[in-house]
Every structure is written in structure tokens, then in C-alpha cells.
């Protein structure tokens, strides 16, 4: 069932948002200033590519302390939230409400809710596919 829902997600626009996040990640990576946020944008792109059956987990639980999971990374998270996170989460929250009104759209609303949560603070997060 998750494969069918992921294919429907991709068909109705998931591939465009994933591509946008991958391009954003590329440009963040080649600019020295955006390098700390490139991995976060890539993770959001992965989640946009295949959201059903995927979980967002704290990277600290998987690999232990590394870049993006320590105390000093508070500023990376803060700047992401101020410049990107709150309005990205707001957009996904809007889609959550619109899709949640219908029974057919409710599985997609759940995925937009997941995307809203990771959009707030994606630094130090990883995507696990099941």
C-alpha cells in the first residue's frame, strides 16, 4: 500500500518538490555560507521523494554525536528556523488542513504534517526508509 501511495504522491507533485529541494541543497553546498544547511535541505528532499513508510529520526540516536547534533549547533537550527523553517512549516500546515478535510486526502495530510515538523528544524535529523 505504501508503494502505491508513494507513486501517487510522486505523480501529483512530490517529484517537483523533491527536485526543488535537491537543487536547493546543491546551491547551498556550493555556497560556503549555506554549507551547514545543505544536508538538511537534502534530507527534506528525500522525505519529499518517498514520504510514505519513511520516518524522521534524530541522527544522534543513529551515529552518536556528530555535526548537527551537538549543543553548539543551536545557532544553525535558530537561523534555519528564522529564515526558512517557520514559513516552510506554515505552507505544509496549510496543505495538511486542506487535504485533511477529505477522506481521500487524509493520508497525504499526514505526510504534509511530517514535512511540516521536519521543516521547522531539520538540522541533525536523518530519514529512515522502511
Give domain limits for the chain: 2-129
Q: What is the mean pLDDT of the segment spanning 31-50?
A: 88
Reported pTM: 0.81
| pLDDT, the chain, mean | 86
CA distances from 64 to 34, 67, 68, 106, 128 (A): 24, 10, 11, 35, 16
| pLDDT band for position 69 (cuts 50, 70, 90) | low
Q: What is the pLDDT of residues 71-130, one digit of tens each?
A: 667 888 888 888 888 988 898 899 999 989 999 999 999 998 998 988 888 888 888 887
Cβ(127)–Cβ(43) below 8 Å: yes
User: What confidence score (pLDDT) does residue 23 get?
Assistant: 92
Amino acid at each position: 500500500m505504501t508503494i502505491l501511495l508513494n507513486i501517487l504522491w510522486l505523480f501529483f507533485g512530490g517529484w517537483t518538490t523533491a527536485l526543488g529541494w535537491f537543487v536547493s541543497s546543491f546551491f547551498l553546498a556550493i555556497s560556503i555560507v549555506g554549507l551547514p544547511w545543505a544536508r538538511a535541505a537534502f534530507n527534506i528532499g528525500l522525505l519529499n521523494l518517498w514520504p510514505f513508510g519513511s520516518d524522521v529520526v534524530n541522527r544522534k540516536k543513529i551515529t552518536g554525536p556528530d555535526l548537527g547534533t551537538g549543543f553548539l549547533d543551536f545557532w544553525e537550527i535558530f537561523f534555519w528556523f528564522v529564515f526558512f523553517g517557520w514559513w516552510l512549516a506554515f505552507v505544509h500546515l496549510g496543505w495538511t488542513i486542506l487535504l485533511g478535510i477529505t477522506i481521500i486526502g487524509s493520508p497525504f495530510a499526514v505526510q504534509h504534517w511530517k514535512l511540516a515538523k521536519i521543516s521547522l528544524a531539520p538540522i541533525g535529523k536523518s530519514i529512515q526508509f522502511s
